[in-house]
Amino acid sequence: DTAVSQTPKYLVTQMGNDKSIKCEQNLGHDTMYWYKQDSKKFLKIMFSYNNKELIINETVPNRFSPKSPDKAHLNLHINSLELGDSAVYFCASSHRTGVTGELFFGEGSRLTVL
């Protein structure tokens, strides 16, 4: 079983469309994250949830809306997609925030906006 799974792996869409990426972890972790990796491989934190509660919200446009229905799931919805949103989006989880937990990453979702 994959520890952190994301769907879909690939997304190709037109500017202005809305899309969602889903993430699930079966590790029993209570903290989940979304990271964005651009074409230069820079990994930037977007959001972090602890037990369904938003705890980190970096300066991300409000077109991006995360949702955590339970602590095993963290989804990312993006409205009105722009060219600059093209990137690989990684979901990750860790055992405990506030403590030095290692991150377990999903395989990534590559979003291409045309």
Partner 1 sequence: GQQVMQIPQYQHVQEGEDFTTYCNSSTTLSNIQWYKQRPGGHPVFLIQLVKSGEVKKQKRLTFQFGEAKKNSSLHITATQTTDVGTYFCAGRSQAGTALIFGKGTTLSVSS
Residue 95 binds to partner 1 (criterion: CB under 8 A): no
Q: Where are the beta strands (DSSP E) in 1-114?
A: 4-7, 10-13, 19-25, 31-37, 43-50, 53-57, 64-70, 73-78, 87-94, 104-105, 109-113
Single-letter code of the amino acid located at 65: S
> In the complex, what is the shortest distance from the CB of residue 48 to partner 1, in angstroms, rounded to a whole number?
6
Query: If binding means CB under 8 A, how many residues of this protein chain bind partner 1?
Result: 23
In the list 55, 63, 65, 82, the residue contacting partner 1 (rule: CB under 8 A) is 55
In the list 14, 28, 84, 102, the residue contacting partner 1 (rule: CB under 8 A) is 102
Please tell me the distance from the alpha carbon of residue 70 to that of residue 114, in angstroms, as a whole number: 33
In the list 25, 48, 68, 75, the residue contacting partner 1 (rule: CB under 8 A) is 48
**Positions that interact with partner 1 (CB under 8 A):** 35, 40-45, 48, 55-56, 58, 90, 97-100, 102-108
